[in-house]
Amino acid sequence: MIFNQKEIILKDGRRCILRSPKIENSVDMLEFLKVISSETHFLLMTPQEVVNSVEKENEFINSINNSDSRMMITSFIDGEIAGNCQVSIHTKNKTRHRCDVAIALKSKFWNLGLGTALFAEMITHAKNNNCTQMELEYIEGNQRAKALYEKMGFNTYAERKKSIKLNDGIYLSEFLMLKEL
């Protein structure tokens, strides 16, 4: 699905463009993924796992933009990718009232209201597509993300113990959250 371009003003007064990613953003998207995955261990991928093929990133962007059940919003500040989010609506009859959401921002763009703005767009999209439940996970220790999710109306309902294993051998739990719409 395509998200129509929208401009928002951040807390620091800068303008931010929200829109679906385009093929011409593939190289920048790969760099964005490398940066965010190196800034924190709270993402499921490591920098080494970022696909290094522009062709594969092009295919991924095309698959999202041409999908009936998935939508990605990429945010741009001063021409730089600041963050992105994705809504994936379940497609089976018994679960199509549910959607999974994910979000990631470069750390230098934290605390500007961007995460809140992206969540507001995902919530609107979910409601407009007849979802009555949004779901996400966060990794143990990620208090910043947990606070944002709770602010946006998500509640923790389960814990997956030892679901994440860091390179140093430490195990972390994942917490499952949902928001009823």
For domain 6-131, give the fold. Answer: Aminopeptidase (3.40.630)
User: What percent of the chain has pLDDT above 90?
Assistant: 90
- pLDDT score, position 35: 93
Q: State mean pLDDT over 10-33.
A: 95
**Do the beta carbons of residue 83 and residue 119 sit within 8 Å?**
no
Amino acid 123 reads: I
Confidence of residue 53 (pLDDT cuts 50, 70, 90): confident
pLDDT, residue 81, reads 97
Mean pLDDT of 160-168: 94
pLDDT digits (tens, 9 = 90+) for 89-104: 999 999 999 999 999 9
Residue found by looking up tokens 């703005």 in the block: 117
Mean per-residue pLDDT, 32-58: 87
Q: Where are the beta strands (DSSP E) in 56-125?
A: 70-77, 80-89, 98-105
Is 27 strand, coil or helix?
helix
| Mean of per-residue pLDDT scores for the chain | 95
pLDDT digits (tens, 9 = 90+) for 88-146: 999 999 999 999 999 999 999 999 999 999 999 999 999 999 999 999 999 999 999 99
pTM of the model: 0.93
In the chain, where the domains are located: 6-131
Q: What does the DSSP assignment read for 106-166? A: -GGGTTSSHHHHHHHHHHHHHHHTT--EEEEEEETT-HHHHHHHHHTT-EEEEEEEEEEE-
pLDDT value at residue 41: 86
- The tokens for 59 are 């295919």
**Long-range contacts, stretch 44-47, CB < 8 angstroms, 24+ apart:** 44/164, 46/167
Q: Where are the beta strands (DSSP E) in 10-63?
A: 15-19
Q: Which amino acid is at 175?
A: F
